[in-house]
Structure 1
């Protein structure tokens, strides 16, 4: 599972800092999530809500064969 946050931000013309402000969480938390798909669940929910997407939409699920 890899985060798609960078792609979503580019498509919307947003920066991590702008998203952090909209989500009400530190920019470092957004950066951490974007790099490794890790983060406090509350932060991931805040990111999804600020972007108006489902939590699942923040990830690219890689199916095992």
Structure 2
């Protein structure tokens, strides 16, 4: 089982570019890109919180999910 970050879908739904999210969160464009493409091994809580706040997400399951 793996954890899937659903950031690509969320950005698409909001017509938002990765660079915009980077500017809103203060996270690097590289970090946003790696999360968007599910190429990141660790998911720091602070990173998830910044993204959730910027995208006004109240349920973490909107951002991450388990993938079999």
Gaps in structure 1 of 5+ consecutive residues: none
| Structure 1 length-normalised TM | 0.77
Question: Which residues of structure 2 form unaligned runs of 5+?
Answer: none
> What is the number of equivalent residue pairs in this alignment?
63
Higher relative contact order (CA 8 A, sep 6+): 2
Give the counterpart of 2:60 among 48, 55, 61.
Answer: 55
Match status 1:39 vs 2:43: yes
Structure 1, residues 9-47: CA drift from partner, whole Å, max 9, x if none? 000000110001011111111112222353332122111
Structure 2 length as normaliser, TM-score? Answer: 0.75
The structure in which a higher percent of residues are helix is 1
More strand by share: 2
The structure 1 segments of at least 4 consecutive aligned residues displaced by more than 6 Å after TM superposition are none
